Amino acid sequence: MVGRIVSAEECGPGEILIPLRFSHGPRERVTCAETGLLIGSAARNGWKATPREMRARAFPEDSPGTRGPCADAPVRSTGWAVSYELGTGLRLGFAALADPADHAAVAVARRIVEEWTAALRTRLLVTTEKGALCEGARGLLAAVQRAGSTPGGRTVVAGSEGCGLTVTDELHRLGALRTVDAGPARPGDLKVVGPLPPSPADRAAAPGVTVVDAVCEHHRATSGELARLTRQGEHVVLAAPLRTIAAQRLREGAEEAEPTEEAEATEEGGTGDEARRGEAGATADGRTDAGHAYDGERARPRVVLSAPDPAATPVPDPRRIGFALVPGQALRPALAVGEVLRARFGHVVPQAPRTYCYEADDRRDTVRCVAALVDLLLIAARPDDPEAADVASWAPPGTPVRTVTSVRDLDPGWLRAAGAVGVVETVHAPRPLAEQLLCALRKLGPSDTVRRSVTTRRAPAPVLPDGTPGAPAPDSSANAPGASGGNPPSAFSIPPFSP
């Protein structure tokens, strides 16, 4: 029940005060549930609200009397309050005061308290298990934390481009500098490379620099597949529906590799050119179906990024076409590029499926999994967050979605009829924001918090009656790096790069 609250402390005209603690009837010590909620509501009503430690007493009845909380103390501020109990002995509430002569401010104080009173109810809170960061980004942060720093040197990170501002904030919190901000590593520095594959500058570390390899296993596996395909003499189309830094880094790394004897031999046309020529769709005048000239000469294997229209992707030699996927991108659009190439040329040598990255799909499906259970989905983000709209689009049609950049953005009108609320985040959101939102929601009545996530795992290789192709050892995991069952050795087993 909302009651009046008074204090002997003065409140200036045009100001609303939020007492951090107050007395309310028999509840002698009530703590403000969340000042940010009242500050945000006041701001939406065009008023500034200020939290303050002050002595204030609330009454269950409508009349405040003529005295403040202390004997013989005049009333210098008045307003409205509500209190309730959560758990054992936890007394929370909302209160707002204003100058008694400022009737407009008193009315706003009452309005914001009543709005949040109407939002008090039992709720189910649903969030994710792993947050927005992918496995590679989490591995980078863990590697930086484990590595610490070298005496007299800096900790610099190379390869975190494109991971989002959440990772950048965490690196700064851990005392690490990105090479894009701090320049190349110097002697005495500790250099952590990851989660993207190393650039030429990253590989050529200066003498006296200690290098820690934190390259994502999915990127390492894809680099291994690019190396395998180019060793076979294939020109590889790297499916990149999104032109990311990761796609460019993979292409550059593959083209810097020295050609092997096998690849050089294929340049001379000695490995199945005649058979492939019929599959390539080359016309009598030596042109492919896409109009690219083919003069019968073999070029050194190359890696090219797919064009926005996959059918227009230039292929140096239509007889030898490899295909690989960029980690961190949704699988179906990338695989569709391969199907276009297969339909266009009649053949394609693909990346091994065991090295696919499912992180983007798992994150999208996790958001959908959370949204499917709730009446309202909150997206923790930064102001003008470039990813907020994408995350919102992953929710099932008809799901109410709100983007919030702080606890103050929460609107009681959203929550009044929301018995289940989901909280997800973008890769740019301040790291504590999602948990801050959950904490604020937990103070609005009895609640339970559950976590939902989607994780794609590889199944163990089946064992045939004759014992082939061989099952993993009993103590091995089908999802561990290098676990490929009876398949050829996984690209995950490729050793770390050497600086």
Choice between 315 and 290, residue whose per-residue pLDDT is larger: 315
Q: Which two tokens stand for residue 350?
A: 């693909």
pLDDT at 281: 38
pLDDT at 440: 97
Asked whether the predicted pLDDT for residue 66 surpasses 50, the reply is no
Percent of the chain's residues with pLDDT above 90: 60
pLDDT at 80: 93
Ramachandran class of 452: left when φ > 0, alpha when ψ lies in -120 to 50, beta otherwise: beta
pTM of the model: 0.83
pLDDT band for position 393 (50/70/90)? very high
Residues 258-281: tens digit of each pLDDT:
555 544 444 444 444 433 433 333
Identify the burial level of 396 via C-beta atoms within 10 angstroms of its C-beta, where 0-12 means exposed, 13-18 middle and 19 or more buried: exposed
Residues 127-163: tens digit of each pLDDT:
999 899 999 999 999 999 998 767 778 999 999 998 9
Residues 318-330: tens digit of each pLDDT:
899 999 999 999 9
- List C-alpha distances in Å: 18 to 15, 28, 78, 80, 120: 10, 17, 11, 10, 18
Nearest to 354 by CA among 191, 228, 181, 204: 228
pLDDT at 137: 96
pLDDT band for position 243 (50/70/90)? confident
pLDDT band for position 285 (50/70/90)? very low
Going by their DSSP bridges, the two strands 401-404 and 349-350 should be labelled as unpaired
Name the CA radius of gyration of the chain, rounded: 31
pLDDT band for position 50 (50/70/90)? very high
Over residues 111-115, the mean pLDDT reads 96
Polymer length in residues for the chain:
499
Over residues 463-475, the mean pLDDT reads 60
Mean pLDDT value across the chain: 83
- List C-alpha distances in Å: 191 to 171, 255, 374, 430: 13, 24, 43, 25
pLDDT at 112: 97
pLDDT at 183: 84
Asked whether the predicted pLDDT for residue 457 surpasses 80, the reply is yes
Asked whether the predicted pLDDT for residue 180 surpasses 90, the reply is no
